Amino acid sequence: MLTVLGIDVSPALLERWVDWLAPDEQPFFLTTKQATAWKLPVSDRELGREDRDTYRVYRIDRKAARTVWLSESAYDDLPRATRAALVRAQVNYNRGAVPTVRRWAGVVGPQIRQQADGHRFVWWKSLLHAPEQVLPAIVSEDLGPSRHAEVRRWPQQFPRVRELAGTFNEGSGPNCFGTVMAACGVEGADNVWMVREPFEEWLASHTVPGGKDDVPGTVFVWRDAARLVQHAALTIGDGWMLHKPSQDWSSPRKVRTVAEVKRATRTTGWRLERHMVVL
């Protein structure tokens, strides 16, 4: 069994990760002028949740208002100068999954230097002949490991915490709000994209202001300057917390120390408040 961030990853999940990192067709974001100049077909096709997270669509420059979907063969058929310009444009527009050749040539092979401009490339399944070497590195890139194996006492009043801790979801969508609610007994909350409104309703009806960091059942809530909730986590006792960093398919439900979660979540303009779960 492959282990990523201290969490077991089944062969089936690893196969899905390959599909999400390198789908058979992937989106490229361009201006109308670029799409016309490079003779690329613009599409209104909607992106799936995994596409959104793989390619970090939420941070794409608004100038790149056109989307082109290409298969590997269609991409390879483009003149190399077009491929180079296309890939450089993705970097400029902040698209995700455009790694550096320098980082990956030793793992996937020197052929990636010929794919585009010699400095950047995009993932295709043909490059993932050793997914067990590539995917764990990508998933672990910006995240610390889950420390659930170090927990010695699990909170009896929150029986689902142990079940959820140290697990990956089956795709994008499930987020920090649903993780907290599920750990506190809300059925099915761990498998949906929980938006702010139902989380706020649950918070108002199942918690009271206050709580302590070293006992189970304190919900940490981070709000931005507009008072909108941005993140949530749950203390599980002895200085540990359960949280899910994001809705991304690569983001697991992790156990970290309270101090580690607070450090990782520190963001300019955010304020932390505490709520105690009422059982």
> Are β-strands 254-257 and 25-30 bridged in parallel, bridged antiparallel, or unpaired?
unpaired
Q: Is the pLDDT of residue 277 over 90?
A: yes
Q: How many separate helices (H) and strands (E) can be counted in the chain?
A: 11, 10
> Are β-strands 2-4 and 7-9 bridged in parallel, bridged antiparallel, or unpaired?
antiparallel
C-beta of residue 190 within 8 angstroms of C-beta of residue 179: yes
Domain ranges, ordered by start, for the chain: 2-139, 148-277
Query: What number does CATH give the domain 148-277?
Result: 3.90.1720
Tokens read off for 130 = 């050793």
The sign of the dihedral angle between the CA atoms of 212, 218, 220, 221 is negative
- pTM of the predicted structure, to 2 decimals: 0.93
Q: Determine the average pLDDT of the residues in 188-213.
A: 97
Q: What is the pLDDT of residues 175-198, one digit of tens each?
A: 999 999 999 999 999 999 999 999
State the pLDDT at residue 86: 98
Cα–Cα distance between 235 and 237 in angstroms, integer? 6
Q: Is the pLDDT of residue 142 over 90?
A: no
